[in-house]
Amino acid sequence: MTARFRKVGTERDIMASQSTFIGIDVSKASLDVAIRPTGESLRFDNDTSGIKKLITRLKSLKPALIVMEATGGMELPAAAAIQVAGLPLAVVNPRQARDFAKSTGKPAKTDALDAHALAHFAEAVRPEARPLPDEQTRELAELVSRRAQIVDMITMEKNRLRTSPSKVRRRIKAHIAWLEKELYGTDDDLATAIKESPAWKAKDEILQSVPGVGPVVSSTLIADLPELGTLNKKQIAALVGVAPLNKDSGTYRGRRGIWGGRALVRSRLYMATITSVQHNSAIKAFYDRLMAFGKKRKVAIVACMHKLLIILNSMLKNKTRWNEHLNKAMAKAA
């Protein structure tokens, strides 16, 4: 008699196969919910009553993970309620979720299909569940975002000014003056918000002690990268999108590049790096060394962005200012 053997999975595999994963597609009026592995679909109103019913249902399911997309703020009431209920939630980048849906051969797009794609994403990718920023941090992030919008509008108006007829130029100049006044007001609001929070003020003082990091970069990091100082260097680099990614296939070896992550944080980090290459002795020395090795300028700048981010992460983690950090680094090198 031939014995038959069945491969038994690990306890973790068995638990995973029994887990429930939830995808929630958010629109202004409704919350479409998909459940894996049952394939069940639900819909709730995106209002106080509907969110209360959603939480009751989610609690009964005891999900291993819930995934939602960041939708410009429409997801916040439901997301906040889910976290208050103590349920594991990951709010992910919409592009990341959409790319996953396309990779599974499901290009069609409806609210219900999007919810199922998010549930599948939750089950297959298992993004890390992270707490939402508190109300104060969200308000600061909105101020930072608004400042970026105003700066963009000023740039666009100044570009239009060059080719506009005289009658229009007068109106454009008036609009630019109004926008610049709004920019000054927003900067004052940012400075006030940071000063009123002891925790933010302490972070701001540490960050701005680094040559090349000014108030705009500091406020962006505080608002849009609250994880800074709490993660290891690989995690923080991947979160921002400055960790080089391979582009290899078979014998082909492509250039490594960066993408994804938090675009606003990355753009501000780029600004800080450009300044640091000129005025920060440690970053300048690193940049000069890379250029001496024959690296292209863009590659060297990205490497400096990565290095600056790791330094800032370490400083916040250890609560040390720039001079203290530099002295410790020099002592370690000696």
Task: Give the H or E element holding residue 188.
Answer: helix 166-196
Total of domains in the chain: 2
Sign, CA dihedral 289-291-292-294, equals positive
pLDDT of residue 329: 76
- How crowded is the C-beta side of 126, counted as CA atoms within 13 Å? 4
Residue 120 near residue 38, CB atoms below 8 Å: no
pLDDT of residue 4: 43
pLDDT of residue 334: 58
pLDDT of residue 1: 41
Pick the last residue of a domain from 98, 125, 152: 125
pLDDT of residue 247: 47
Residues 115, 174: one domain?
Answer: no
132-191 tens-digit pLDDT = 777 788 888 888 889 989 999 999 999 999 888 888 999 999 999 999 999 999 999 999
Pick the last residue of a domain from 101, 125, 149: 125
Q: Is 281 left (phi over 0), alpha (psi -120 to 50) or beta?
A: alpha
Task: Kindly state whether residue 131 falls inside one of the protein's structural domains.
Answer: no
Residues 174, 226: one domain?
Answer: yes
Task: Kindly state whether residue 73 falls inside one of the protein's structural domains.
Answer: yes
**Within 62-134, where are the H helices?**
76-84, 94-103, 111-125
All residue ranges of the chain with pLDDT < 50 are: 1-17, 246-254, 257-259
Range of the domain at 93: 11-125
Residues 171, 291: one domain?
Answer: yes
Whole-model pTM: value is 0.67
Q: Residue 23's closest CA among 104, 133, 101?
A: 101
Q: Is 57 left (phi over 0), alpha (psi -120 to 50) or beta?
A: alpha
Backbone angles phi, psi at 37, to 5 degrees: -95, 5
Pick the last residue of a domain from 70, 100, 125: 125
β partners of residue 67: 23, 90
